[in-house]
Amino acid sequence: MSILFTAPADNSNYWFPKLYFQDPKTKLFEAVGNGGLLVYYQNRGNGDVANGGTGLKAFPPGFKMLTGNPTARSKKYTPGEGSQAELRERAIAWACLRYTTSNPGYEGYGFPTTDCEAGFNARLHMPACWDGVNLDSPDHISHTAFLSGLDNGACPSTHPVYFMKLFYEVTWDVHEFASRWNPAVDKWPFVYATGDPTGYSWHGDFQNGWDINTLQTAIDKCNNKNDDTGNGVAEACPYFNVKTATLSNQCKISAVINEQTEGVLSRLPG
């Protein structure tokens, strides 16, 4: 598994919806803070050399993909059934972290029902299989597919190209609002920016901006069990000029739409 923090050769766009607290009394919305997005680049699937395959491929220029379903409000498939639709549902999950208390943590789909004192950790598995032709598709999904085991396994014959598997992780500070709702009385008072109070619409986007040669060289040469690249240390890969998070956080993009997204809101943005 490789964990990539910040590399100038990567100008990709990684996107996920914001989480908002909706006050049970006032019905107003407030953005929930998070610790930033962690993107894991994982060597997975039968195509990986370590699994006996011919090697994983870098994303091609202009490639885009999505995981999750922004319109979903419930689960429809039996977990483990293994169809691409079921894998897509299973690709979104969370952990309610409670290790700062004596309360046991738990995992699931949708949304939790309690405070998560150490954070609400939301996760996304990206598809790792490509049809080898289309950089995108009308639904942003059908040109890609999930590995048969979601986190590992085979690509379907319709999508024979194996990519590095992306895994997103965001931890939201829902505990900041714990004094303002009562789990015994109130439903979980958080919604995604999609307007979803169920949590099933959790999803993420990827738009490739990599220097393709750099990424392919790193895939081929920086997963060595004999050095720290095999332990996911991006700095150990000589093909990456890794920058600090402090420096990277100075890079900002001006808003395309002038709307309020922070503070106390009477309605969700968009």
Upper half-sphere CA count for residue 186 (Cβ side, 13 Å)? 19
Contacts of 101 by beta carbon, 8 Å cutoff, 6+ apart: 117, 118
Kindly report, residue by residue over 173-209, the tens digit of the pLDDT.
Answer: 999 999 999 999 999 999 999 999 999 999 999 999 9
pLDDT of residue 1: 36
pLDDT of res. 2: 40
Pairwise CA distance, residues 262 & 260, whole Å: 6
pLDDT at residue number 104: 97
Contact by Cβ (8 Å): 116, 97 = yes
- Would the pLDDT of 237 be above 50? yes
Identify the weakest region by mean pLDDT among 2-16, 92-106, 213-227: 2-16
Q: How confident is the model at residue 14 (pLDDT cuts 50, 70, 90)?
A: very high
Mean of pLDDT values over 148-153: 97
- Looking at residue 182, its pLDDT comes to 96
Query: What average pLDDT is seen over the chain?
Result: 92
Residues in contact with 231: Cβ distance below 8 Å, sequence separation at least 6, in sequence order: none
pLDDT tens-digit map of 78-114? 989 999 999 999 999 999 999 999 999 999 999 999 9
Could you say which DSSP state residue 137 is in?
Answer: -
Nearest alpha carbon to residue 203 among 108, 119, 126? 126
Which is nearest to 91 in space by CA: 12, 139, 149?
A: 149
* Whole-number pLDDT of residue 270: 76
Distance in angstroms (rounded) separating the CA atoms of residues 231 and 235 = 11
More confident residue, 210 or 240: 210
CA 152 from centroid of its chain's CA atoms: 16
The answer to whether 180 and 26 have CB atoms below 8 angstroms apart is no
* pLDDT score of 6: 56
The model's pTM is 0.92
- Residue 216 in contact with residue 56, Cβ under 8 Å? no
Please report the pLDDT score of residue 9 as a whole number: 86
47-56 mean pLDDT: 95
What are the CA-CA distances from residue 27 to residues 30, 92, 173, 268 (Å)? 10, 27, 19, 11
One DSSP character per residue, 21-53 reads EE-TTT--EEEPPEEEEEEEEE--STTSGGGTS
- Say if CB 17 and CB 168 are below 8 A apart: no
Query: Which backbone phi and psi does 220 adopt, to 5 degrees?
Result: -75, -30
Q: What is the pLDDT of residue 4?
A: 46
Residue 174 DSSP class: G
